[in-house]
C-alpha cells in the first residue's frame, strides 16, 4: 500500500487540514503534559492523526470530498484481448479472462492482477508499482502503472514487466475500467486492450 502522502488531496484542503491537525496535536500534547503523563511530541501526534486519516477516515463520505480521486476499491473482472507477432512475423491474437483487485488508501492505490486460462485456472499474476492517478473529469480517472509478472513456466514464458494505462469511469454510479497494456515479455512482446466491470 502507498506510504503516507497528501499528493492526492485537494491543495486547499491539504493546507487547511494540516493547520487544523497541528492545532489539535498541540492541544493534545499540552493536555498530556498538563496532567503529568508522558510527554507526547507535536510531530508524533500530527503523524498519528494523519495516519488515521490516510488509512481509515479518508473513505468516509464527508472526508472523501477532500480528495481528488474517487473510491475505486473493489474486484473487477472482464477480458483482455492480446496480440503479438511470432517468429514468422505473423500476428497472433487471443482473449484471456482477467481480474484486477484494487486496494486504496488516502495516498494512492495498490493493484493486483490475475490472468486466467480458458479452463479457469490461473495463468499468472502481477502486482502494480507506483500507480499514477490523474483525474480527467468528474467521472473519469486515468491510472498509469508499471507491473511485474512472475511468468509461467508451464506456459513457456518467464518473468517480465509491463505497463497499463487504464481509465476508471463512474458514470451514474456504474463503475467500469478499460484501457491498454504492453509488455517486454520474451520471446514475443505482447500488447492489447482490456475491459472490466465490478465482480458481482
- Are 132 and 168 part of one and the same domain? yes
Domain-located, residue 4: no
- Are 15 and 104 part of one and the same domain? no
Residue at which a domain ends, from 20, 38, 64: 64
Task: Please tell me the total count of domains within the chain.
Answer: 2
Residue at which a domain ends, from 64, 84, 106: 64
Pair 105, 85: CB distance under 8 Å:
no
* Residue-level pLDDT at 38: 47
Name the pLDDT band for 104 (thresholds 50, 70, 90): very high
Domain-located, residue 69: no
Domain-located, residue 1: no
Which residue range forms the structural domain that includes residue 41?
Answer: 11-64
Mean pLDDT (whole number) for 124-138 = 88
Residue 55, phi then psi, degrees to nearest 5: -90, -35
Domain-located, residue 2: no
* Residue-level pLDDT at 191: 95
Domain-located, residue 182: yes
What is the 3-class SS of the chain, one letter each residue?
Answer: CCCCCCCCECHHHHHHHHHHHHHHHHHHHHHHHHCCCCCCCHHHHHHHHHHHHHHCHHHCHHHHCCECCCCCCEEEEEEEEEEEECCCCCEEEEEEEEEEEEEEECCEEEEEEEEECCCCCEEEEEEEEEEEEEECCCCEEEEEEEEEECCECCCCECCEEEEEEEEEEEECCEEEEEEEEEECCCCCCCEEEEEEEECC
Mean pLDDT (whole number) for 150-161 = 80
- Are 145 and 111 part of one and the same domain? yes
Domain-located, residue 180: yes
| Percent of the chain residues topping a pLDDT of 90 | 39
Mean pLDDT (whole number) for 93-115 = 92
- Give yes or no for residue 163 having a pLDDT over 90: yes
Residues 15-43: pLDDT tens digits? 777 777 677 766 766 676 644 444 556 67
Q: Could you tell me the CATH number of the domain that includes residue 155?
A: 2.40.160
**Is the whole model's pTM more than 0.85, yes or no?**
no
- Are 48 and 123 part of one and the same domain? no
Mean pLDDT (whole number) for 181-194 = 91
Amino acid at each position: 500500500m502507498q506510504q503516507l502522502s497528501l499528493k492526492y488531496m485537494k491543495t486547499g484542503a491539504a493546507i487547511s487540514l494540516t493547520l487544523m491537525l497541528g492545532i489539535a496535536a498541540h492541544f493534545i500534547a499540552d493536555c498530556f503534559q498538563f496532567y503529568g503523563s508522558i510527554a507526547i511530541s507535536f510531530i508524533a501526534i500530527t503523524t498519528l492523526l494523519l495516519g488515521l486519516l490516510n488509512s481509515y477516515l479518508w473513505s468516509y463520505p464527508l472526508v472523501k470530498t477532500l480528495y481528488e480521486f474517487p473510491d475505486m476499491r473493489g474486484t473487477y473482472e472482464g477480458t483482455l484481448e492480446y496480440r503479438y507477432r511470432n517468429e514468422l512475423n505473423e500476428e497472433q491474437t487471443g482473449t484471456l479472462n482477467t481480474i484486477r483487485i484494487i486496494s486504496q488508501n488516502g495516498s494512492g492505490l495498490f493493484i493486483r492482477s490475475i490472468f486466467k486460462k480458458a479452463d479457469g485456472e490461473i495463468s499468472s499474476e502481477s502486482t502494480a508499482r507506483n500507480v499514477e492517478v490523474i483525474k480527467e473529469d468528474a467521472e473519469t480517472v486515468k491510472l498509469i502503472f508499471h507491473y511485474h509478472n512472475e511468468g509461467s513456466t508451464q506456459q513457456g514464458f518467464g518473468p517480465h514487466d509491463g505497463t497499463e494505462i487504464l481509465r476508471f469511469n463512474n458514470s451514474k454510479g456504474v463503475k467500469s475500467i478499460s484501457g491498454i497494456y504492453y509488455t517486454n515479455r520474451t520471446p514475443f512482446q505482447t500488447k492489447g486492450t482490456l475491459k472490466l466491470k465490478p465482480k458481482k
